[in-house]
Amino acid sequence: MQRSTSETESTMLAVNSTLAVAEYGLDGTMAKMNGNFLEIYGYSQEDILGEHHRILVAKEEKASEEYRQFWKDLSSGYPKKGVFKRINRKGEVISVFSNFSPIRNRAGETVKIMEITYQLKSD
């Protein structure tokens, strides 16, 4: 068991040092994010901790039924992935590839959402 825990911690360390990672409450509220995530968007942790994911989304998208359904699906346990247009702190549009994974407890209930993402560089 200890080896398994050690391997899991090492794997998470590798992911966190390479990719941008954020955790959200089921409602989309930002609960935790690593330095890579903050760097992509240009925010400090104090700026966005407790804010809703929508601060990273264009005005047209955040008001859409599709965006509301996106969070309903995630909180119901359905993962989402793809290329998304997002807005950084400077108001610039950036493209990211994100994988949103519902995280379940031992009872199988979705308790939070984890996003693993990276920025797609433009030419």
- pLDDT digit string (tens) for the chain, length 123 residues: 556 778 878 877 777 777 999 999 999 999 999 999 999 999 999 999 999 999 999 999 999 999 999 999 999 999 999 999 999 999 999 999 999 999 999 999 999 999 999 999 864
pLDDT of residue 123: 47
Please tell me the predicted confidence (pLDDT) of residue 121: 84
Beta strands in 1-123 (DSSP E): 20-24, 30-33, 80-87, 93-104, 110-120
Residues 6+ apart with CB under 8 A from 83: 95, 96, 97, 120
Whole-angstrom distance, CA of residue 33 vs CA of residue 85? 19
pTM for the full model?
A: 0.88
Residue 115, phi-psi category: left (phi > 0), alpha (psi -120 to 50), beta (remainder): beta
